[in-house]
Amino acid sequence: MELADLIEEIDQLDTFKRYGRVKRVVGLMIESQGPESSIGDVCYIHVGHKRKRIIKAEVVGFKDEDVILMPYTSINDISPGSLVEATSKPLEIKVGAQLIGSVLDSVGQPLDGSVLPKGLSSVPTDQDPPNPLQRPPISSPIEVGVRMIDSLLTIGIGQRVGIFAGSGVGKSTLLGMVARNTTADLNVIALIGERGREVREFIEKDLGPEGLSRSIVIVATSDQPALMRIKGAFTATAIAEYFRDKGLNVMMMMDSVTRVAMAQREIGLAIGEPPTTKGYTPSVFAILPKLLERTGTNEKGSITAIYTVLVDGDDMNEPIADTVRGILDGHFVLDRALANKGQYPAVNVLKSVSRVMNNIVDTNHVKSAEKLREILSTYVNSEDLINIGAYKKGSSMDIDEAIRLYPTIISFLKQATHEKISFQESIQQLFSLVGKGE
């Protein structure tokens, strides 16, 4: 850098520190008189004896001349007049290959309390999605090692899909299977709003040492402030973007995007936004596309994303499920009725779709997948007649074929948790079951 450029940069440096004071705290919201700051800036609130402890907070709005802050941690020890220091910078996290195999919190710090390794790069958590004209088309499939998905709901490199399910239907188990078996270069897994008990259980049981060794896990448990749950999603996306820009094919999984929406609803209501459908504020429906569109392909690499969506009372048309389904490139529906029958993964093939499958696999594969769906649909539509004995064999060739093949199809759709099946094996088994489409 030339001396003149250095002098110019030094001249532009802001050497002043700006302070304000806490005016009041209402619920999640901290209102302070000053400091001068912008939306998204991080501020430090100095609390405790001789102001030795710092609480990080973020500017989320303004009320008249006052600044509205939301804390990253608990707000114990904040009192009227506590000093608020502006950093004039948004939240940044440290990222690098050294983090692979780590479990981090929402702001990118190791969850076990250890120190971050040296040589990491700083990146902002809030970034813009790639330019639509700079997104290469999705042209090739990615192997996830789950036979049902690879054969009937093929995912493309850079595709974004949603797993829609109620609680306790096997979302975490399915994510663990994908993380262990996928051919992606790296997994970035965000556990947002999870119960504390489930975090270690997921890492040790569902993910396992094999999965963790090629993953970065970001955790924001349900007891943490709403802002931390939102930041967990943004931090995970920023980490995935960093590795995508290095030319890698990243598999990103977020469980669950519904809890991100709930956290944004908490913040929106706290700062005075009007509630709309089911109490969700307008900012919820603004933040979802901004977050979900950041994944996908760009000119350097790709992020294949799987988002889980919790559906209240198994209602697939509730506001968040409906919005997310419209943004993503496919949806997989986990069916409680199938789980109750012991069919795992409990994906209802007839209610699920991969919107890019027909563009990334050959014609024979597409026709065989359609044939299996057709046979399964025929059986499901006639199931009541078959079960009560009202159907007479020979009345319909299609129903006869569906009855003959149904047990084999169910065996094909089932897969043990730690069973890995390659993409080619899945296709060959599909062809041997329903024939090769011509």
Does the structural domain 93-361 have CATH classification 3.40.50.12240?
yes
How many helices (H) does the chain have, and how many strands (E)? 14, 17
SS (H, E, C) 87-135: EEEECEEEECHHHCCCEECCCCCECCCCCCCCCCEEEECCCCCCCHHHC
Residue 283's φ and ψ, nearest 5 degrees, are -65, -25
CB 125 within 8 A of CB 295: no
pTM recorded for the entire structure = 0.91
Beta bridge partners of 95: 121
Note the CATH architecture for domain 364-435: Up-down Bundle (1.20)
Q: How far apart are CA 104 and CA 256, in angstroms?
A: 17
Which pLDDT tens digits describe the chain residue by residue (438 residues)?
577 777 777 666 666 788 899 999 988 789 999 898 999 899 999 987 776 789 999 998 888 889 999 998 888 788 888 999 999 889 999 999 999 999 999 999 999 888 999 989 999 999 999 999 989 999 999 999 999 999 999 999 999 999 998 888 888 889 999 999 999 999 999 999 988 888 999 999 888 888 899 999 999 999 898 999 999 999 999 999 999 999 999 999 998 899 999 999 998 988 888 998 888 999 999 999 999 999 999 999 999 999 999 987 666 778 999 999 999 999 999 998 999 988 999 999 999 999 999 999 999 999 999 999 999 999 999 988 888 888 888 888 999 999 999 999 999 999 999 899 999 999 999 999 998 755
CB 24 within 8 A of CB 80: yes
Q: How far apart are CA 219 and CA 103, in angstroms?
A: 7
Whole-Å CA distances, 330 to 189, 351, 377: 19, 11, 20
Q: How far apart are CA 295 and CA 297, in angstroms?
A: 7
State both tokens at 116.
């971050």
In the chain, domain spans = 16-90, 93-361, 364-435
Residues in the chain, overall count: 438
Note the CATH architecture for domain 16-90: Beta Barrel (2.40)
